[in-house]
Every structure is written in C-alpha cells, then in structure tokens.
Amino acid sequence: MNNLRIILAISLLVINYCSDNKNEAAKKKKNTNRSVYTLEQSDKELTINLLGTVSHKNKAEVSSKVIGRIEKIFKEQGQKVNKGEALAKVETLNLELQLKKDEASVEIQNKQIDLTRAKYIQARQRIEKEVANIEKAKAEEAEAKANLENLKRTLNNKKDLFEIGGVSETELKGVETAMVSAETAYFKAQKNLLSIQVGYRPEDLKKNGFKVPTNPEALREAYVDYNTIVEKAELDMAIANLKATQANIETTKLLIKESTLLSPLDGKIAVRSLYVGETTKEGTPVFVLVDDSEVFLTFPVSEADIPKFQEGKYIEFSIDALGKEKKFKGKIVIVSPILDAQSRTAEIKVEFKNEAKKLKPGMFARGEFRYTLPDDGFLIPNNGIILSEDKKTGKVYIINKDKLAFSKEVSVISNEGDKFLITGPLNEGDSIVLGNLNGLSDGQPWDQ
C-alpha cells in the first residue's frame, strides 16, 4: 500500500514537471514573435527611383539668312565639325550686283548733299539780308513818321503866324506842300514794311508751330529757320538718302558674309537637308548639328519629391542599353519651376560629360537619387509601429538599458512599402521592438 502511494506521488511530480516545461516552451515560443531593431544611419538614408531619357545638351539648327541656291557643300552628314568651320555656301551674285550699285550711288548722293547744302547756305544768307532790310524799313518808317509829325507841328505854328501876319501865304503854302510829301513818304514806308514783313512776323511763327523767342538775336534766327524750311528739308533728305544707302551697303556686306554657313558648335552633322543647286527657304534648317560630348538626362519628378532636388546635387543612373550594372553619375543643373497639370510632375535635367560617347539621345535611363532624412527622421520596418486610426501618428516601443519597453509617440510621414518614414523623439542607436506590439505595455520587459 505504501509502495502504491509512493508510485502515485512520483507520477504526479512527473506530470507537473512536464506541464511546467510545456508552459515554459509555449511562453518562449510566444516571445520569439518579438525582436529588437537598432536605429542606424542607414535608416536615415532614402532613395528615390527615377525613369527618364537621354537628350542632347547642345543641338543647333543651321539655316540660311540668305535666300538663294546652294553653291557649295563643304561637310556631309555624319562628319565631325569644329565651331566656326564652313558647312556650305549660298550663291551671292544678286547681292554682289546690288553692292556695286549702292557703292556707285554713294558718290552721287555726296554730290547731291553738297548741292543742297550750298542752296541752304545761300537761302540763309538771302533771308538774313531780308531781315536786315526789314529792320532798315522799320527805321525808314519811323523816320518818315517823325518827319510827318514835325511838319504837322510846323504847319500849325505857321498857320497861327499867318493869321497875325507873321508869315506870308507863299511860305505857308510851302509848308503845306512839304507836309503832303511827308504824308506820302510815310504812307509808302508803311506799305513797304508791310509787304516785306510777311513771313517775318511773330504771328507767322506761331501759325506754323515755331516758338517766338523774346531775345532779339534768337528771334532773328527763328525767322531765318522759318524761311529756309524747304532748303533745310532738301538737305536733310539728301543726308538721309546717303545714310540709307550706306546702311544698305552694310546689310548687303553682312548678307554676303552670312552666305557662308558656319558651324555654331563643336560636334557632328546629324542632318543635311539640301543639296547643291537647291534653294534655301526662310526658317528651314540646312544642317542639324549635335554635340555628344555632353548630354542631358531628363527625369520627371513627382510634386511631393520636388523640394528634395536642388541644383548642384548628384544622381546615380544606369542606361538599360548598356546594362543596369554599369553606373554613371551626373549633376542636377535644372529643376523646372513648371509643374505638369496632368501628371503632377516637374522635370529635372542632369548634366553628364559623355567623354566615351556611349550615351546616345533617346536611350532609356534609370536614376537613383539618395538623400538623408532630418535628425529626428527614420525609416523603420512596418511591424515596429502601432498606427493611430488616421495613420498620421503612431506609437513605437523603445528598449532602455534595463531591457524594459516604453512607448513614444511619433509622426508618420509616408508609407514606403514595407517601411514607414517617421519623425519623433528618436536618436541613432536607439533600440525599438518589432512584432507583437499590441501585447506590450510600458515598463514591461520587451521579451515577455
């Protein structure tokens, strides 16, 4: 009986021991759903993948400013050219004939200017004499008037004397005759002044838009200018004609010079559209030149990522046609300020020195732009955060030196696939808990 009791007791102990082991194993299995993740510098570095194409940086269309037939072709399609090198020449026979004609007319027009200038000078001299004659006529009128006034007073005195017998009738008649002559002389002086003063009066100047100077010398000059308008206009016209001819000569010379089409850059001829004997057209390119020593890579960037791109930063890229494993590096030189309304993207242009000439316009490119998050920003696995209902904030658990977990509130910036971009009171080197966070409380050991 005692043996039976001993056997039962031992059996119970074994059963309890096995049960405790199962519970401990189950407990350990539950804890293995959590792990520790240490925040590192790499968690602050993000990559934006871009898709784009290669395009020319330097491309030029060479058209002719001269309308005419192609006389010579110096370079063919596919050939390399240097900046300033001759590509083709347009016929200039008509221009050369026009140049000779204009150069011959210059001498004639110079003679015409000499003639009109002489006429103008003579006209001024004539008008100056007329002004002097007017001043003389004014003086004569004033003298005749004064003489008449003097005779009037003399006649009145003689009449008084005649009434008292102081003078004879003959003497009185003589004074009366002299006064009549003085009146006639004064009348003639007035009419003479009026006749020669036409065109030399202040009202004449005003009527024709001239200012009336108060200074006598300036007024005299104004009368001369007014009365030599025609001669001055003829001289101005002759000078203008000469200038127009000289301008035509310079233009013709420039067009003759421009008839030789020159390369505006170092590069290669991609297209030649005309042949010898064909006629150039305004605005139609004769050659298309490209420079492959430098190229642009154009990438569309979403509006949310545009602020991350600045001119002067670098982008790593690969070219599908050359193999994705071959990496190149280019510098951002243009960030377009214009946003496409439909795609909500803006273009960036990356400059690349294509020294090996491997990149060709039209090739497909894949770019990678790397940037670093702010000090409080990190990229963490998506099982390391408990999201709020609006998914704009969340809670992470930080492990302290005693291996206890404490929650911290963070802001969720974006969902990057299997990771979340967050900002909050986190530092590089902090350890956070991953997995089974809903079963974790503040102050609890992270692995229990």
Report the Cα 69 to chain-centroid distance in Å: 36
Are 82 and 169 within one domain?
A: no
Burial of 87 (0-12, 13-18, 19+ CB in 10 A): buried
pLDDT at 293 over 80: yes
User: What confidence category does residue 8 fall into, taking pLDDT thresholds of 50, 70 and 90?
Assistant: low
CB atoms within 10 A of CB 320: 11
- Please, are residues 39 and 426 in contact by the beta-carbon 8 Å criterion? yes
Asked if residue 3 is part of any domain, the answer here is no
My answer on whether 210 and 113 are in the same domain is yes
Is 153 in the same domain as 76?
no
Same domain, yes or no, for 149 and 74? no
For 377-387, what is the mean pLDDT? Answer: 90
**328-367 confidence digits (pLDDT tens):** 999 999 999 999 999 999 999 999 999 888 899 999 999 9
306-326 average pLDDT score = 91
The answer on 382 and 336 residing in a single domain is no
Residue 391 sits in the same domain as residue 412: yes
The DSSP secondary structure of 204-254, one letter per residue, reads: HHHHTT----SSHHHHHHHHHHHTTHHHHHHHHHHHHHHHHHHHHHHHHHH
Distance CA 408, CA 404 (A): 13
Confidence of residue 6 (pLDDT cuts 50, 70, 90): low
Verify that 113 and 235 share a domain, yes or no: yes
CATH number of the domain bearing residue 305: 2.40.30.170
**CB neighbour burial string for 369-381, b if at least 16 within 10 angstroms, e if fewer:** beeebeeebbbbe
**Do 149 and 200 belong to one domain?**
yes
* Same domain, residue pair 217 and 353: no
Same domain (yes/no): 301, 354: yes
Q: Which pLDDT belongs to residue 371? A: 83
Domain with 217 in it: 96-241
**38 occurs within a structural domain:** no
Determine the pLDDT at residue 22.
47
For residue 286, pLDDT over 90 is answered with yes
Q: Are residues 187 and 209 in the same domain?
A: yes
pLDDT above 90: residue 395: yes
The total number of structural domains in the chain stands at 4
CATH label of the domain that carries residue 403: 2.40.420.20
Among the ranges given (20-24, 197-201, 256-260, 296-300), the one the predictor scored with the smallest mean pLDDT? 20-24
Read off the pLDDT of residues 150-185 as tens digits, 9 standing for 90 and up.
988 988 888 888 888 778 888 888 888 888 898 898
- The maximal CA–CA distance of the chain, rounded, in angstroms, is 209
With respect to residue 200, please indicate whether it lies within any of the assigned structural domains.
yes
pLDDT for 216-265, tens place per residue? 888 888 888 888 889 999 999 999 999 999 999 999 999 999 999 999 99
Q: What is the pLDDT of residues 84-110, one digit of tens each?
A: 999 999 999 999 999 999 999 999 999
Given this model, what pLDDT does residue 29 score?
45
Confidence tier at 3 by pLDDT (50, 70, 90): low
27: in domain? no
Contact 53, 297 (CB under 8 A): yes
Residue 14 has pLDDT above 70, yes or no: no
Structural domain contains residue 22: no
Residue 20 located in a structural domain: no
Asked if the structure places residue 415 within a domain, the reply is yes
**Whole-number average pLDDT of the chain:** 87
Please write the tens of the pLDDT for every residue from 403-434: 999 999 999 988 877 889 888 888 888 999 99
In a domain, 103, yes or no: yes
